[in-house]
Amino acid sequence: MPRQHTYDLVIAANRLPVDRVVGPDGSSEWHRSPGGLVTAMESVMRGREGAWVGWAGEAGEAPAPFAEAGMWLHPVPLSEDELQTYYEGFSNDTLWPIYHDVIVPAHFHREWWQDYQRVNERFAEAVCEVAAPGARVWIHDYQLQLVPALVRRLRPDLRIGWFNHIPFPPVELFAQLPWRSQIIEGLLGADYLGFQRSADAANFVRAARQLDGRSTRGETVTTTHPDGRERVVRASSVPISIDYAGLEQLARSPEVLARAEQIRTSLGDPEIVMLGVDRLDYTKGIRHRLKAYEELLSEGAFCPPEVTFVQVATPSRERVEAYKRLRTEVETTVGRINGTYGTLGSPAVHYLHQSYPREEMAALFQVADVMLVTPLRDGMNLVAKEYVTCRHDLGGALVLSEFTGAWHELHQSFVCNPHDIEGLKQTMLRAIETDPKDRRRLMRASRRRVSEHDVQRWADRFLDNLASAPERPTPKRA
Ligand code: GDG
């Protein structure tokens, strides 16, 4: 792709969609990161001359901009200190807990906030550097909530959208944030704000009205410019999805099918395989599902080798205290369950604190008779959508928490409230015992939903909403 100085579509996200991979000879190259967002953006960018602004994954000086995966990648530098303050601190230890129902307490530090502002300014400047006149800018997620207003101040010609991958909290929780007004003001710099659920969009609109005195109507918030002109910002839901066709094709490949058989055999060919796949994060309800499973074992509802539970817990945010504590708790529990209920060669829990290639994940999904998706709060949860996509055989059963965005689309699953351990146990048993014919019907319905609402449709809907946002400031009403 030829180097250009400015682009008509600019994506800004905390991370660039590539990772540097160093070969045995010390030479390094960029590899596309796995994940739906990259796939979605790649297809959005195709033939459109797009740029992506984000951190390249290594502290210190940023690499020079470069072309990769059909996009112009513009790295933003982050120092080791900023990684601790802006990213691990303010983003993941202040905002993340507040936006996820304060499952763990949020920490407030003024230095973290200062660095969050500074890094957001840096991202905004980078966006303005690569954006062509009148370009569309699509900003992602809670790390960059000040960027919309910062970009608008520098470049009022741009059309600005922001999408929140995580929930937006109820006003009572958001109110705890000492910098709540600045965040609202930052977001209101956008023309359009996209959320996973309509409840998230409504939470934002309510926060703007109740905490910041903005005038609101339905899905819109009105902001007033210093010169008295008004601008209307729309906030609505556009639930994210996955690359259904691509993943389905992978799941049907002979290699993945063979690997699934191999995994089942290596697990000792149990009658029931339960599976959890999550980042090791306290929002995901891993402890709750382990507790329910342990109680079912202790009550003799089933026992190994007839049943086994595979938990893939991908390492995540390992320097943040709450994540260290969670890891200790989960690993202690797994040890206790295996010590009590495992038999030689047949552990009750296969715990994997590792991350795997996509092919392996697709094979695991096919092995899982019961998929346990039990978050206490989750913006969407793509794992639930990936699981049903991989079940082209219509086998398996999805146990899904009502506190995920995914549940609002996948009603035809075994719904659970993970806080209700007794209820969760009954749901797990129901998922196992339900007539296979009925399970197939549920699986078919879930698959249809995901196939008709894939990641491409999500991206198109977001960009349509951005395009139809009010064209320019409306004159102040008399
Ligand atoms: C945030 C929001 C929202 C996991 N382990 C491996 C692996 N994964 C993949 C999964 C899935 C992705 O990572 C995780 O996505 P989730 O949606 O489940 O959760 P978050 O990471 O918390 O994502 C969430 C999402 O943003 C998108 O808007 O849905 O609510 O919290 O794709 O499959 N992939 C591979 N190896 C692993 O070991 N290859």
Burial of 186 (0-12, 13-18, 19+ CB in 10 A): buried
What is the tens place of the pLDDT at every residue in 438-454? 999 999 999 999 999 99
Annotate 306-375 with DSSP letters as a single string.
TEEEEEEEE---TTSHHHHHHHHHHHHHHHHHHHHH-BTTB-SEEEE-S---HHHHHHHHHH-SEEEE--
Residue 81: give the domain boundaries: 7-240+457-468
CA 158 to ligand 1 center in whole angstroms: 31
Q: How many helices (H) and strands (E) does the chain have?
A: 17, 18
* 145 shares a domain with 278: no
Alpha-carbon distance of 275 to 272, in angstroms, equals: 10
Distance CA 31, CA 347 (A): 36
The model's pTM: 0.95
Host H or E run for residue 379: none
Question: What would the mean pLDDT of 461-475 be, rounded to a whole number?
Answer: 79
Residue 295 pLDDT level (bands cut at 50, 70, 90):
very high
Q: Point out the ligand 1 atom lying closest to the alpha carbon of residue 34.
A: 39
- The answer to whether residues 104 and 322 touch, using CB atoms and an 8 Å cutoff, is yes
Q: Report how far ligand 1's centroid is from the alpha carbon of 35 (Å).
A: 8
- Kindly state if the Cβ of 381 falls inside 6 Å of ligand 1: yes
Q: Determine which residue's CA is closest to atom 20 belonging to ligand 1.
A: 381
**Ordered strands of the 192-195 beta sheet:** 66-68, 71-75, 50-55, 7-15, 131-140, 159-163, 192-195, 230-237, 220-224, 215-217
Report which ligand 1 atom has the smallest distance to the Cα of 405. 30
pLDDT in tens, 400-452: 999 999 999 999 999 999 999 999 999 999 999 999 999 999 999 999 999 99
Give me the mean pLDDT over the 236-265 stretch.
97
- One domain for residues 287 and 357: yes
Do 32 and 181 lie in one domain? The reply is yes
Q: Residue 165: inside a domain, yes or no?
A: yes
| 473 occurs within a structural domain | no
**Mean of the per-residue pLDDT values for the chain?**
94
Whole-angstrom Cα distance, residue 392 to residue 173? Answer: 41
**CB 191 near ligand 1, within 6 Å:** no
Instruction: Specify the amino acid at residue 33.
Output: S
In this structure, are 305 and 328 located in the same domain? yes
pLDDT at 37: 72
The predicted pLDDT at position 32 comes to 82
Contact, 262 vs 366, CB < 8 A? Answer: no
Q: Domain check: are 290 and 262 in the same one?
A: yes
Asked if residue 248 and residue 222 are part of one domain, the reply reads no
Instruction: Look up the CATH number of the domain holding residue 118.
Output: 3.40.50.2000
Query: Are 308 and 417 contained in the same domain?
Result: yes
| 124-139 pLDDT, tens digit each | 999 999 999 999 999 9
Ligand 1 centroid distance, CA of 217 (Å): 34
Q: Is 166 in the pocket of ligand 1 (CB under 6 A)?
A: yes
The reported pLDDT for the residue numbered 259 is 98
| CA dist list (Å): 166 to 192, 399, 404 | 17, 21, 10
Assigned domain for 1 exists = no
- As given in the structure block, the two tokens for residue 102 are 């304060």
- Of the pLDDT bands very low, low, confident and very high (cuts 50, 70, 90), residue 2 is very low
Asked if residue 355 is part of any domain, the answer here is yes
Considering the domain architecture, whether residues 122 and 172 belong to the same structural domain is answered as yes
pLDDT value, residue 70:
81
- Lowest mean pLDDT segment, chosen from 135-149, 216-230, 246-260, 333-347: 216-230
Q: Indicate which residue's Cα is closest to atom 26 of ligand 1.
A: 165
How confident is the model at residue 292, as a pLDDT? 98
Q: 315 and 224 in one domain?
A: no
Kindly tell me if the per-residue pLDDT of 478 is higher than 50.
no
Residue with CA closest to ligand 1 atom 34: 358
State whether residue 275 is helix, strand or coil: strand
Mutating to test ligand 1, I would choose from 138, 312, 366, 382 the residue with most ligand atoms within 8 A of its C-beta, which is 382
Residue nearest (by alpha carbon) to ligand 1 atom 1: 165
Whether residue 269 sits in one domain with residue 235 = no
Q: Is ipTM strictly over 0.90?
A: yes
**What separation in angstroms does the CA of 412 have from each of 9, 390, 421, 435, 449?**
37, 16, 21, 15, 10
Q: Is 380 in the pocket of ligand 1 (CB under 6 A)?
A: yes
Residue 283: enclosing H or E segment and its boundaries?
Answer: none
C-beta separation of 409 from 453 below 8 A? yes
Residues 337 and 251 in one domain: yes
Looking at ligand 1, which residue's alpha carbon is closest to its atom 19?
381
Is the C-beta atom of 386 inside 6 A of ligand 1?
A: yes
The verdict on the CB of residue 382 being under 6 Å from ligand 1 is: yes
Q: From the CB of 165, is ligand 1 less than 6 Å away?
A: yes
Residue 383 CA to ligand 1 centre (angstroms): 6
Q: What percent of the chain has pLDDT over 70?
A: 96
- Beta bridge partner(s), residue 320: none
Looking at the domain assignment, is residue 156 inside a domain?
A: yes
Per the domain annotation, does 475 fall within a domain? Answer: no
Contacts with 422 (C-beta within 8 Å, 6 or more apart), sequence order: none
- 337-350 pLDDT, tens digit per residue, is 999 999 999 999 99
Instruction: Report the C-alpha gap between 229 and 410 in whole angstroms.
Output: 43
Both 149 and 230 in a single domain?
Answer: yes
Q: Residue 277 Cα, ligand 1 centroid: separation in angstroms?
A: 9
Q: Is 96 domain-assigned?
A: yes
DSSP code for 477: P
Residue by residue, DSSP assigns 211-252 as TT--EEETTEEEEE-TTS-EEEEEEEE------HHHHHHHHH
Residue 2, in any domain of the structure: no
Number of compact structural domains in the chain: 2
